[in-house]
Amino acid sequence: MPQSGIPTGAGSPELGRARRDPVELARRLERWFGGRLPGGAEATVTASSSGAANGMSSETLLVDVVWEDGGEARVEHLVARLEPGAADVPVFPVYDLGRQVGVVGAVAERTSVPVPTVRWYEPDPAALGSPFFLMRRVEGRVPPDVPPYDFGGCWLYDAGPADQRALQDATVAVLAELHGIDRAADVFGFLAFGDGGGGSDGDGDGGDAGPGALRRHVAHTEAWYRWAVAGGPRSALIERGFAWLEDHWPAPEGPAVLSWGDARIGNVIYDGFRPAAVLDWEMAGLGPRELDVAWLLEAHRVFEDLAAQWDLPGMPGFLRPDDVATTYESLTGHGPRHLDWYTTYAAVQWGIVFLRTGSRSIALGEREAPADVDDLLHHRSTLERALAGPPAS
């Protein structure tokens, strides 16, 4: 998920992060590794913050593990993803790391989409205080969230138009390949949301992923919103958004495919301008392919609107909807439909994310609670414009 959306000049790049002590976590990991390495070797572990300017969901640490194997030193360079606790004011009500590990494994088995290799998964919270998994570290570079890549001063902004377009097209190709996985509803049945009612905790409870998957997806999002505002002020703007979505429901919605869920360039490690690792599968599910296409577009549009607010030129020629749709259709034979509706849905989901990250900043004493809760939505003007009329035909 994205960071706060606030540029460095207006807030810390680490805004809204609750952190555990990496030294203590390294000691606990050393104990956990006991009996898990070849020959019962003892591990020496060092851990540090990832330092990434992206992500507000699971906590991420860089972990180096060293041990001896047959008299030779072995080392693994890993990344640890830890489930957040309630004190972290998490973005989502449920963090099923096993579910994420299952998605990554199935994608690796069935596609050429580059995903990290998961080395260990520990569902028992006893070892570190929360479930976690360890994956091999992938070297490369990521378009930053803070400050947003389109604010300037980063490798993607400074690249030439041909390289920017190469990155855009290669990222769209990732979506095309994910959506092309055969029998996705069977392979990823564990990702299907429930029958439309959801639950007060926002957790998906299985169910058929055939026609109506979009209904279940939106019902799941509504349950997530109800959890996000439980005990606090409700967002009039987000609730207007849900009403708008219902009033302009797209038909037909199309078949369900594997949806990455958080399909944006800030969740990709690039080697040059090609994806080297596709990350962050917390929002994976089953639904129409337009969910991912629209999320990719909306994530950039939010940053473009923020750039305009700061009188910055942004990257208006990058991730243009017509270009993305044309590339996607050329790769899949499917022309994305109802993208205005799906980008508005993405904007509503971003609103829930901003509610949670804003609440986290308030809980950590980094900002005062605003008089209007909708002022926590950094893309407020983006969503208001989307709701101003019906979607384009």
Active-site residue list: 262
Nearest to 91 by CA among 4, 209, 175: 4
The residues near 59 (Cβ < 8 Å, ≥ 6 apart) are 17, 18, 19, 20, 81, 82, 84, 88
Q: What is the rounded CA–CA span in Å between residue 309 and residue 304?
A: 9
For 25, residues 6+ apart whose C-beta sits below 8 A from its C-beta are 47, 61, 80, 128
Q: Retrieve residue 95's tokens.
A: 């963090």
Are residues 378 and 231 in contact, defined by beta-carbon separation less than 8 angstroms? no
In the block, tokens 């509504």 appear at: 222
Q: What is the CA radius of gyration of the chain?
A: 21
Task: Look at residues 267, 283, 261, 258 and name the one whose alpha carbon lies nearest to residue 202.
Answer: 283
